[in-house]
A and B are shown apart, each in its own frame.
Chain A
Amino acid sequence: MDDDFLSKLLESHNYLTQRDSADHPAVNCPADRWTDCAKSLRDEHGYDMLIDATCIDWDKESPRFSAVYHLFSTVTHKYIRIVVDAEDDENPSVPSVTSLWAAADWHEREAYDMFGVTFEGHPDLRRILMWDSYPWHPLRKEFPLAGHDTELPDIAVREETGTPVIPAPMAGGPFVSSKQAGAMSKNEPRGADQSWNEEEEKPK
Chain B
Amino acid sequence: MATKEISVGDVLARSSEYEEELDTERMTISMGPSHPSTHGVLRLKLELDGEVVTECDPELGYLHRGDEKIAENMTYNQFVPYTDRLDYLAPLANNVAYAIAVEKLAHLEVPPRCQAIRVLVSELARISAHLLGLGAFAMDTGALTVFMLTFTEREKLYTLFEKLTGARLTTSFTRIGGVARDLPDDWLNEVSVFVDQLIPVVDEVDGLLTRNRIFVDRTKDVGVISREDAISYGLTGPNLRGSGVPLDLRKDVPYSGYEQYDFDIPVGTVGDAYDRYLVRMEEMRQSALIVKQVIETIPEGSYFAEDAKRIFPPTKDKVMSSMEELIQNFMITTQGPQMPAGEVYFEAENPKGALGFFIHSKGGGVPYRMKIRGPSFCNLSILPKICVGAMISDVVAILGSLDFVMGECDR
Contacts and interface: CB of A to CB of B under 8 A. Distances in A.
B410 interface: yes
Given A74-B247, A103-B381, A22 B342 contact: yes
Contacts of B232: 48, 101-103
> Dominant SS at the A interface?
loop
Nearest to B65: A174
Interface residues of A, number: 39
Interface stretch (A49-57, A159-167, A179-187, A194-202): A49-57
B216 interface: no
B343 A21 contact: yes
Interface string A3-29: 000000000000000011111101000
B233 A103 contact: yes
Given A52-B373, A128-B61, A145-B73, A103 B234 contact: yes
Interface in A91-145: 101-103, 105-107, 110, 114, 128-131, 138-139, 143, 145
A49 B231 contact: yes
A110 B340 CA distance: 28
Contacts of B410: 129
Contact of A51 (B73, B356, B360): B356
Nearest to A131: B61
A77 B358 contact: no
A50 B373 CA distance: 12
B107 interface: yes
Nearest to A129: B61
A79 B346 CA distance: 10
A70 interface: yes
Nearest to B228: A48
A81 B360 CA distance: 12
Contacts of B73: 145, 175
Contacts of A103: 232-234, 378, 381
A25 to B, nearest CB: 11
A68 interface: yes
B371 interface: yes
Classify chain B: how many residues form its interface, as a range: 35 or more
Interface in B234-269: 234, 236, 245, 247, 252-253
B343 A54 contact: no
Given A74-B245, A145-B73, A106 B377 contact: yes
A70 B345 contact: yes
Contacts of A106: 377-378, 381
B105 interface: yes
A110 B66 CA distance: 12
A81 B342 CA distance: 13
Contacts of A139: 68-69
Given A22-B344, A50-B234, A128-B61, A138 B69 contact: yes
A78 B384 CA distance: 29
B12 interface: no
B129 interface: no
| Residue in A20, A23, A48, A68 whose Cβ sees the most chain B Cβ within 10 Å | A23
B381 A102 contact: yes
Contacts of B373: 51-52
Contacts of A70: 345, 356, 358
A203 to B, nearest CB: 35
Given A51-B354, A81-B343, A128-B61, A56 B369 contact: yes
B234 A51 contact: yes
Contacts of A52: 345, 356, 358, 371, 373
A81 B377 CA distance: 20
A130 B373 CA distance: 17
Contact of B343 (A26, A51, A130, A143): A26
Contact of A145 (B70, B343, B368, B385): B70
B306 to A, nearest CB: 23
22 contacts: A22-B104, A24-B345, A51-B236, A51-B354, A51-B373, A52-B345, A52-B356, A52-B358, A57-B369, A79-B345, A81-B343, A102-B232, A102-B382, A103-B234, A107-B234, A107-B378, A110-B377, A128-B60, A128-B61, A129-B60, A129-B61, A129-B64
Given A26-B343, A70-B345, A103-B378, 19 more contacts: A22-B105, A22-B342, A23-B343, A23-B346, A51-B234, A51-B347, A51-B354, A57-B369, A70-B358, A74-B245, A106-B381, A107-B378, A128-B61, A138-B66, A143-B69, A145-B69, A145-B70, A145-B73, A147-B66
Interface of B: 60-61, 64, 66, 68-70, 73, 104-105, 107, 229, 231-234, 236, 245, 247, 252-253, 340, 342-347, 354, 356, 358, 360, 368-369, 371, 373, 377-378, 381-382, 385, 410-411
Interface of A: 19-24, 26, 48-52, 54, 56-57, 68, 70, 74, 77, 79, 81, 101-103, 105-107, 110, 114, 128-131, 138-139, 143, 145, 147, 175
